[in-house]
Amino acid sequence: MLVTTIPTLLTYAGTSDGVVNFLASKNILKKESKESWKMFFSILSVALPTLVLLVMYEVKKWRYQSMKTQRDLILAAQKEAVLSYMTTTYGLNSEFNNLNMRIWIEEKNPITKIFKYGTKFNDKVFFVKSISNISKEDNKNKLYFTVSPNFQGLVGICYNDKETTHISDVSGFYKKHNLNPYQKKLVSDTKFVMCVPILNEKNQVIVIFSFDSLTEIDIPSQHKKNIYTTIDYFCLNLSNNIPDLWKKKG
């Protein structure tokens, strides 16, 4: 209420002689400076609400960033707990506990697809959403893959098959998937990759979670189903409870 009331009073003070005459009669300001004060009040009537709104925006922004930081820390802790559980329970390579987790969402802006990723406007492109603490801050967080009509990488296969899948060593696999030189460079040292698609009620893939390592990791066939079930549940739970994860902003 003050944001609107105070500027109104200041506007009145800047356009009416009544306020400055009253202040002058009380010797609060000099009579010869009345016009200067009227101009000051007029300027303040515009500047004050702008300043207040700016402060409110910065406070809101700070609160949002604080909540986002807390969310990312909780997400990283959950990821670590789940991977640690599976590593211990199924006797996996210790590197499984240190997997990078990346969240892939669809780029729907045709201009971005054309000029940033060099794809066609009608191609479906998934890119890595930047989230702190769940993966190493390397250039792989700048990766993107086309998933339709042609597909690239395990993300593309995961999108089209709509099933969780993994490859213990993708170094040879990626050579067969029409990656451009930029993509090849970013994935050249990657070995293990696991992808988990999240579907909506229309059976459409809305987000893909991937886990990767520079180390080759074998998944024992006798534990594969249980590992997939555990990782599926973890990713689905994140998607349902933190929907901002699969939105471009947030």
pLDDT digits (tens, 9 = 90+) for 78-100: 999 999 999 999 999 999 999 99
Sorted by sequence, the CB contacts under 8 Å of residue 15 that are 6+ apart come out as 38, 42
pLDDT score for 75: 85
The predicted model scores a pTM of 0.74
Sorted by sequence, the CB contacts under 8 Å of residue 81 that are 6+ apart come out as none
176 vs 192: CA distance, rounded Å = 16
CA atoms within 13 A on the CB side of 214: 7
DSSP 177: T
Enumerate the CATH 3.30.450 domain ranges in the chain, comma separated.
90-246
Whether residue 17 is predicted with pLDDT greater than 90 in this model: the reply is no
Q: Does domain 90-246 have CATH number 1.20.120?
A: no
pLDDT band at 144 (very low <50, low <70, confident <90, very high): very high
pLDDT band at 1 (very low <50, low <70, confident <90, very high): very low
- Give the tokens for residue 75: 């997400």
- Give the tokens for residue 191: 């070995």
- Give the tokens for residue 4: 């609107």
209 vs 105: CA distance, rounded Å = 9
pLDDT digits (tens, 9 = 90+) for 173-227: 877 777 888 998 898 899 999 999 999 999 999 999 999 999 999 999 999 999 9
- Give the tokens for residue 69: 């930081």
pLDDT band at 26 (very low <50, low <70, confident <90, very high): low
Write out the E strands in 81-214: 100-107, 124-129, 144-148, 165-167, 192-199, 205-213
Percent of the chain whose predicted confidence (pLDDT) is above 70: 72
114 vs 120: CA distance, rounded Å = 6
